[in-house]
Amino acid sequence: MGTSSGLGWWLDQIGRIPLLTPAEEIELGNQIQSWLQHPDGPDHCPPGLRRRGTRAKDRFVQANLRLAVSYISKHCHRLLKKSSTEDLIQAANEGLIRAVERFDPHRGYRFSTYAYWWIRQAVNRHIDQHGRLVAIPGSHSQHLGRLGPITRRLERELNRTPTREELAAELGVSMAVFEQLLINARPISSLDVQLDDDGPDLGDVVATYDQTLEEQEEQQDRWRQIEQLRGLIRKLPRTDRDLLSMAWGLDGEEVKSRELAARYGLSVRQLEQRLEGLQQQLRHQAVQLVLIAIPRQPVVAVSKVVKRRRVKVAPGQLSLLTLAPSGSAQLTAQAIPA
């Protein structure tokens, strides 16, 4: 297990803390339990009892810090690829603190045996929460950890690759949960991973679902057309509607022409003619629907343009533009004194 400068200093410091004897484990464990199990609670117990309990807990944890490091160095070689050494040691220390709080000396076993399972549980929980790019439930992580050994054991016993049903039964889960486990077990790669030495990145060859504004509008138009087509089909008689549904697979299952013709007592040619007639009917209704959907534009009346005529004006007269009773403009000449 490689160590950085800070981690190396910390390991050197905890290596100087003396270990506890069996008698000290019993004495410190009793003080901790007297404090935590007090009838009034650990926060409302007598101050002297609380001080003795906190000092005993600190002494107990510090003397066993190397136990957490030993577990990481011996049993977590595979997990070091998913998480850093410092994070795993921190998770193991949290399990160690939990074990110190739960340790009961009256049961007669050593603390190292009891703390091993708490440290293991804390490390596994840390990997379940932070070891994947996408978090999955803790129960699924446990099933995935058992899936590999179970698969290898069944291969030896059956001399073949076990089926999914056999693996699900051995895990004790339903097929729906097992299918989700297989989805969660898929590896996750970065889009920046280079496929070849001189090849493109993974993100350059993966299809994208980003749509432009024009593509979104086109898709919305297509959806509106589909909804209009479904509305037109619903207006057809029940027999014709069922016929189109089975011929086009509108309900998810498309029936072959020969089988469909046999159901309706028709020949294949007659069936094709009937489907063609229904298509023509739908086209005609679709055209009418489009015409109805087009808003009518009001027609604006355009007044008739009257051509101007040249009017000769005698000297000493000015031309005036007057309105005729009909509303049309007329050019008249009136004498206006200079």
Tell me the Ramachandran region of residue 159: left when phi exceeds 0, alpha when psi lies from -120 to 50, beta otherwise.
Answer: left
Name the E strands within the chain: 318-323, 329-334
Query: Using CA atoms, how far apart are residues 68 and 129, in angstroms rounded to an integer?
Result: 19
pLDDT recorded at residue 294: 43
Better pLDDT: 128 or 273: 273
SS (H, E, C) 70-121: HHHHHHCCCHHHCCCHHHHHHHHHHHHHHHHHHCCHHHCCCHHHHHHHHHHH
- Rounded CA-CA distance 86/247 in Å is 64
Task: Tell me the average pLDDT of the chain.
Answer: 78
Q: Quick one: average pLDDT of 244-264?
A: 81
pLDDT at position 304, please? Answer: 52
Half-sphere exposure in the Cβ direction for 309 (13 Å, CA): 8
**Which tops the pLDDT comparison, 295 or 104?**
104
The rounded distance, in Å, linking the Cα atoms of 50 and 40 is: 12
Confidence category of residue 56, pLDDT binned at 50, 70, 90 = very high
Could you tell me if 72 and 89 are in contact, meaning their C-beta atoms sit under 8 angstroms apart? yes
CA torsion sign for 121, 122, 123, 127 is positive
Least confident among 195-204, 223-232, 236-245, 267-276 = 195-204
Kindly state the tokens that stand for 49.
């009892």
What does the pLDDT read at residue 293?
A: 46
pLDDT at 62: 92
Q: Which pLDDT tens digit goes with each residue over 136-166?
A: 777 777 788 788 889 999 999 989 999 989 9
Greater model confidence, 61 or 134? 61
Who wins on pLDDT, 210 or 139?
A: 139
Q: In angstroms, rounded to a whole number, what is the distance separating the alpha carbons of residues 108 and 25?
A: 11
Output the six-digit token pair for 175: 């097929």
pTM for this model (two decimals): 0.48
Question: pLDDT band at residue 131, thresholds of 50, 70 and 90?
Answer: low
Range with the largest mean pLDDT of 203-217, 227-241, 292-306:
227-241
pLDDT for 97 beyond 90: yes
> Are residues 147 and 171 in contact, defined by beta-carbon separation less than 8 angstroms?
yes
| 283 class by beta-carbon count within 10 Å (0-12 exposed, 13-18 middle, 19+ buried) | exposed
The three-state DSSP-derived secondary structure of 262-292 is HHHCCCHHHHHHHHHHHHHHHHHHHHHHHHH
203 alpha carbon, distance to own chain's centre: 19
pLDDT of residue 235: 83
- Classify burial at 47, counting beta carbons within 10 Å of its beta carbon; exposed 0-12, middle 13-18, buried 19 or more: exposed
Asked if pLDDT for residue 129 goes beyond 80, the answer is no
pLDDT exceeds cutoff 50 at 255: yes
pLDDT at 208: 63
Q: How far is CA 122 from CA 86, 119, 294, in A?
A: 14, 5, 67
**Closest of 95, 34, 100 to residue 70, by C-alpha:** 95
Q: Are 135 and 96 in contact (CB under 8 A)?
A: no
Structural domains of the chain, with CATH? 5-131 (1.20.120.1810), 134-188 (1.10.10), 216-291 (1.10.10)
Q: What share of the chain is helix, strand, coil (3-state, %, to 5)?
A: 60, 5, 35
In tens, the pLDDT along 288-333 reads: 655 444 444 444 455 555 555 554 545 544 444 444 444 444 444 4
**Average pLDDT for residues 178-204, to the nearest whole number?**
75
Do residues 187 and 177 lie in contact, with contact meaning Cβ atoms separated by under 8 Å?
Answer: no
